[in-house]
Amino acid sequence: MIFNTFFCKRFSDYKGKILGYGAYLCFLFMIFSLCTVLKPYMLDPIHHFFEEIKTMKVEEELCISEPRTEYCQTNGDIRVHGKFSSVYIVSDKTITMDENTSRSIRPYARKWETNAMKRVTQWSIKTIQQAPNCTKNHTIPAVIFSTSGYTGNHFHEFSDIIIPLFLTCKQFNGQVQLLITDYKPWWILKHKPFLEKLSDYETIDIDKDEKVHCFPKVIVGLKRYDNDLTVDSQKYSYSMKDFRDFLRSSYSLERVNAIEIRDTSKKSMKVKKPRLLIVSRKRTRSFTNIPQIVKMAKQLGFKVLVKDGGRNMSRFANIVNSCDVLMGVHGAGLTNILFLPENAIFIQVVPYGDVKLLATNDFGKASEDMNIRYLEYKIGLEESSLVEEYPLDDRIGKETSSIRKQDWDKQNV
């Protein structure tokens, strides 16, 4: 009796469990059937939701406008047609741009300078559904930039193109195609070592190229920092030291550090003489007493070189790198301090007139970021050729702010 009672109780429990499991399986079957029927309706909105988020994110990051430059980054099926100065973003659907929407950009990193920008070809970036067929396919990204603007001025070539190019392209480690608008063969030749180090591919004169080039990624315009000849290491992945190291590698410059400057006027000390480079100018803002400067420098124990920039930048870069001190009157030629070794000395001679702020902003602040020791000498009126035009007792002569730009620019010191 006890056994039967126990058996009946266990059987009753077992039967209950069977019924419970059966109900659970039926519930799962119903859920599965419901999901199968509703799958197209459930997944499609979810899929489109995430696609919309993705598309919106791309559109938000498409173009970046900053105080001194603007550039656009495009990803996907990107087609470049140089004949029409156009970049096409091929897309079936878009959120923030319709088929007829386009954006214009001049790919030169000095957008606030009207005189420079009006010389730069304007490019359009269009999101379309029907694009010209590809005639040349690439598997690497491309960067479109101009060699117009203030090209021809050594200072602007570095501040507006070379350093921005480094900031924009270094991330690709040579796997990038440079597409150049307003192509200048002499500029390419001048900066050939740098360009060959930056990209493993031949540059393309995109204005004259009738092909439709297709890329997975295209950047139109260049990144740059707000100040000239400097890099903001907090904003970008690179520092001014990284850029100078890249230059040294591009031009095979041997010296990383300058020698320690000592008092070499004492004959008992046998040390290597530091080298002083005087950057001369042939027309305006030139030194009128070069022989006296050279004589005094030699008496102080320097080995002195007097050079102008010359046309061969690679050769001049090596000359600058061989020196420990560079001195010159404010001008574009002082941009060559970029090639000086670390801890070198840079002496900028500031012409008479209201020039100090310009001189300090152009080269004084930049030299600090380059780990170059900076000295500045301000010319007085009596040391300037302007004394012949503005007598010492003349009011205009006494007030540097009254000196016109065309006057201080023409003086010799």
| Per-residue model confidence (pLDDT) at position 29 | 54
| Per-residue model confidence (pLDDT) at position 383 | 84
Position 287 pLDDT exceeds 90: no
Residue 96 vs residue 168, higher pLDDT: 168
Instruction: Tell me the per-residue pLDDT of 317-372, one tens digit each, with 9 for 90 and over.
Output: 999 999 999 999 999 999 999 999 999 999 999 988 878 888 888 899 999 999 99
Confidence of residue 151 (pLDDT cuts 50, 70, 90): very high
Distance, in Å, from the CA atom of 211 to the CA atom of 92, rounded to the nearest integer, reads 23
Cβ neighbour number for residue 64 with a 10 Å cutoff: 12
Distance, in Å, from the CA atom of 413 to the CA atom of 403, rounded to the nearest integer, reads 15
Residue spans per domain, the chain: 59-250, 275-408
| Per-residue model confidence (pLDDT) at position 93 | 62
Position 51 pLDDT exceeds 80: no
**Taking CA 197 as the corner, what is the angle to CA 191 and CA 199, rounded to the nearest 5 degrees?**
100
Residues 72-99: what's their mean pLDDT?
82
Confidence of residue 396 (pLDDT cuts 50, 70, 90): low
Residues listed for the chain = 413
Distance, in Å, from the CA atom of 166 to the CA atom of 68, rounded to the nearest integer, reads 16
Q: Poorest-confidence range of 45-49, 88-92, 236-240?
A: 45-49
Cβ neighbour number for residue 48 with a 10 Å cutoff: 12
Distance from CA of residue 345 to its chain's centroid?
A: 26
Task: Name which of 246, 243, 276, 278 is nearest 259 in CA terms.
Answer: 276
Query: In terms of pTM, does the model score above 0.85?
Result: no
Contacts of 81 (CB under 8 A, 6+ apart): 87, 88, 132, 212, 213
Residues 64-84: what's their mean pLDDT?
94
| Per-residue model confidence (pLDDT) at position 288 | 83
Distance, in Å, from the CA atom of 201 to the CA atom of 395, rounded to the nearest integer, reads 59
The position carrying tokens 């031009």 is 251
User: Per the structure block, which two tokens stand in for 404?
Assistant: 């016109």
Residues 298-308: what's their mean pLDDT?
94
275-408, which class in CATH?
A: alpha beta
Q: Strand pairing of 345-350 and 373-378? A: parallel
Confidence of residue 266 (pLDDT cuts 50, 70, 90): low
- CA atoms lying within 13 Å on the CB side of residue 185: 1
Distance, in Å, from the CA atom of 235 to the CA atom of 16, rounded to the nearest integer, reads 69
Distance, in Å, from the CA atom of 169 to the CA atom of 166, rounded to the nearest integer, reads 5
- CA atoms lying within 13 Å on the CB side of residue 177: 19
